[in-house]
Amino acid sequence: MPNMNMLQAINNALDVAMAEDERVLCFGEDVGSFGGVFRATSHLQEKYGHARCFNTPIVEQGIVGFANGLASQGSVPVAEIQFADYIFPAFDQLVNETAKFRYRSGDLFNVGGLTLRAPYGGGISGGHYHSQSPEAYFAHTSGLKVVIPRNPYEAKGLLLASIRDPDPVLFFEPKRLYRASTGEVPEEDYQLPLGEAEVTREGTDVTLVGWGAQMEVIDRAVELAEKDGISCEVIDLRTILPWDEDTVADSVLKTGRLVVTHEAPRTGGFAGEIAAAIQERCFLYLESPVMRVTGLDTPFPLTLEKEYLPDHLKIHEAIRASVNY
């Protein structure tokens, strides 16, 4: 298998999808001959033409509204929001239109073929308008799916599954991994299941749950914990909505402890939903409170980015606190 970084894997997934189905269209700000701000759509326009890969005006609400219209008429739009921070002008379209299309019509029409890609998260010194993690806003919205990959292999398989899924999908791509994460990726077509978490490491003392770029951070924290003699079970949620409650609960029933980490701020972050669900299902098996290691309840800072992000040292501290409670 060839070695790819995450950007190459995403580009390859788009290429596979467009080759397999002529209804697949890619569009967004600068995605055409420029290939997007991160080059995720490089060479797709020259291969498939201006009618299937094209630039849009700088108007996010219009991009999503246009995607809704295309999807409702049978096309398979893969729209790009240049940075996930820019998604908020399109919030009304996503929450009140995309998510409710099927429901409001009794399934007479839907926009299930829509996929919205967006680079998200910190780690590139992008400041407060280029570093946010908005997944929790959309996890509150029935009718959407929210998917976040952790490496190139996952990115290709999950993106192809998202494009072909019968529901509209928000696909958030951890941009600090775009070129930093590399690995073997099959050139052929493959899909990974949406809504299913993956146990990436088995252990007995504490369960750690994360997604996206935090998975690499978790792995570094686990290395420190193992030196302390602590056995960690690690779960990549992969899909935030719907999230795999059963896999997490089964793990916590075994370990008795749970640490959840994400880059987004603590208050209202998705870790709170996980903590609430697990204490309902596993209360009598918990050996300590569910711990959250998250970003801070402040706008994302520029010069203090390292202090803001939940790093491996903060996670290691939470692991120790959970085990020694």
| Cβ atoms 109, 72 nearer than 8 A | yes
Ranges in the chain, pLDDT < 50: none
> Would you give the distance in Å from CA 170 to the centre of its chain?
8
Write out the two tokens for 39: 């080059």
pLDDT tens across 114-165, in order?
A: 999 999 999 999 999 999 999 999 999 999 999 999 999 999 999 999 999 9
**What positions carry a catalytic annotation?**
60, 130
Q: Please give the radius of gyration of the chain, using alpha carbons only, rounded to the nearest integer.
A: 19
| Cβ atoms 185, 178 nearer than 8 A | no
Q: Are strands 169-174 and 145-147 parallel, antiparallel or unpaired?
A: parallel
The model's pTM is 0.97
pLDDT tens across 73-129, in order?
A: 999 999 999 999 999 999 999 999 999 999 999 999 999 999 999 999 999 999 999
| Residue that has been written with the tokens 């298998």 in this structure | 1
CA distances for 196 relative to 24, 136, 170, 238, angstroms = 25, 18, 16, 7
pLDDT at 70: 98
Whole-angstrom Cα distance, residue 137 to residue 145? 12
**Nearest alpha-carbon partner for 217 in 171, 255, 258, 261:** 261
